[in-house]
Structure 1
Amino acid sequence: MKKQFAVIGLGRFGTSVCKELFRMNHDVLAIDRDEDRIKDLKDFSTHTIVADATDEKMLTNTGIRNFDNVIVAIGEDIQASILCTLILKDFEIKQVWVKAQNEYHHKVLDKIGADKIFHPEQDMGLRIAEFLTSEKVIDYIDLSDEYSIVETLATKKVEGRSLADLDIRAKYGCTIMAIKQKNKVDVTPHPEDTLNKGDLLVVIGHKNDLRRFQNEAL
């Protein structure tokens, strides 16, 4: 379903979010106080406005009150990020999502009511660390401090063995959510399903259990 988004702050993160939302055919309002950045986004957004998002009157004039979803992607200026978020919450925007620079910034944003807080550099660091430490990991989603979902490759070690035989949940506390074999994806794996080398497994569990599963079972 088509939605309306406003993206404030067009650094690398904000620009990436803006382009992706526009590519997904959503209405996107791009806002930045740098005119050059705005010019670069004209072909990748529905509307663009040069404005200082810390100026309440100027922000009102952008029509941002009409948006249910606003992403604050202001970069290095933590004070501007906080002030902009405060204004948006005063406007009673339904969903205000904000990029945080550090844990202190995160705590302040949380206290003033940001609905979702991003740490793109930290999140990417976690993903890269997972790839670097396991050649079997294809993709990685961090659900919380303790739990994750990983896409990992089955190796020759499990060739021809069934899920029941491997007994992964009992031995490792992990759950296989889906199995991709060539062009077929099974999102409701059965205990009798057998694995082949190169199968893609989508597994959810505690981070420690997932590492133990990858190291010992695969």
Structure 2
Amino acid sequence: MNIHKSYAVFGLGRYGKAVAKELLDNGATVLAIDKDRRVVDDLAGEIPLCKCADVTELGVMKQLGISNIDVVIISMAENFEASVMATMLCKEEGVKRIIVKCANEVHCNILKKVGADEVVLPERDFGIRFAKNILTSGFLDIADISSDFSILEIDIKEDWIGKTLRQLELRNKYNINVIALKKGQDVDIVLDPDGIIEENTKMIVIADKKSIKRIK
């Protein structure tokens, strides 16, 4: 990370706040912005340059001096329209690098087309990263990857044995996404939807917090 560059973070939810604090902890100058006054007031003591503003308005962006910022991280995935508008305005203001957090692949593709230099899809990106990690470590602890999703290792249910992933329909029934199958020290991340689930197999899954309770 280049601490001599200037950074701005739009949206101070769990993800945006974590990014802003990490940048600060590493000595970078960070302008943190959220439209919720309560959020800004709560973080004012932790983030010196913390402002309440609507980054979907061009006049506001100009007042904030966004054209002087090197890198903008837009963390407003829950509001796609706002993410698009903020991305377009940053591009118009000449921001050199625009990184946008997305809610899904479709949003990622659209945001790239309107000016995002990089897109972040936490569920996908963390899933890939953790899958690579378990190939070397052979074990995965429960980990939060966002305010809503976790990645964890689960034991298969007895009635899943002998069935295929396609037959189980875990995404439809439980809203969980299987990213790997583990048996002993062997981990398979290239999943065959018609492969038979064998006894003593464990699953590495990404799921929201409510779904986790249903499958435990």
* AA of the residue aligned to 2:71: N
Q: Measure the CA separation in 2 of the matches of 1:2 and 1:120.
A: 27
Match of 1:106 in 2: 108
Larger radius of gyration: 1
* 2:86 maps to which of 60, 84, 87: 84
Q: Measure the CA separation in 2 of the matches of 1:67 and 1:97.
A: 13
1:61 maps to 2:67: no
* 1:49 maps to which of 42, 48, 51: 51
Q: Measure the CA separation in 1 of the matches of 2:50 and 2:109.
A: 30
1:19 maps to 2:57: no
1:179-216 per-position Cα deviation (integer Å, ceiling 9, x unaligned): xxxxxxxxxxxxxxxxxxxxxxxxxxxx87xxxxxxxx
Match of 1:32 in 2: 34
Residue 58 of structure 1: how far off its partner (Å)? 1.4
1:79-99 per-position Cα deviation (integer Å, ceiling 9, x unaligned): 110011001101111111111
Instruction: Report if the CA contact (8 A) 1:33-1:52 is conserved.
Output: yes
Instruction: Report if the CA contact (8 A) 1:97-1:114 is conserved.
Output: yes
Residue 129 of structure 1: how far off its partner (Å)? 4.2
The alignment partner of 2:51 has SS state of strand
* AA of the residue aligned to 1:113: G
Instruction: Report if the CA contact (8 A) 1:56-1:87 is conserved.
Output: yes
Instruction: Report if the CA contact (8 A) 1:18-1:28 is conserved.
Output: yes
The count of residues paired between Structure 1 and Structure 2 equals: 141
Q: Measure the CA separation in 1 of the matches of 2:77 and 2:41.
A: 18
Instruction: Report if the CA contact (8 A) 2:9-2:30 is conserved.
Output: yes
* 2:96 maps to which of 87, 91, 94: 94
Structure 1 runs not aligned, ≥5 long: 139-206, 209-218
Residue 75 of structure 1: how far off its partner (Å)? 2.9
Structure 2 runs not aligned, ≥5 long: 141-188, 191-216
Identity %: 36
- 1:121-136 to 2 correspondences below 5 Å: 121-130=123-132, 135-136=137-138
Q: Measure the CA separation in 1 of the matches of 2:129 and 2:118.
A: 20
Instruction: Report if the CA contact (8 A) 1:18-1:44 is conserved.
Output: no
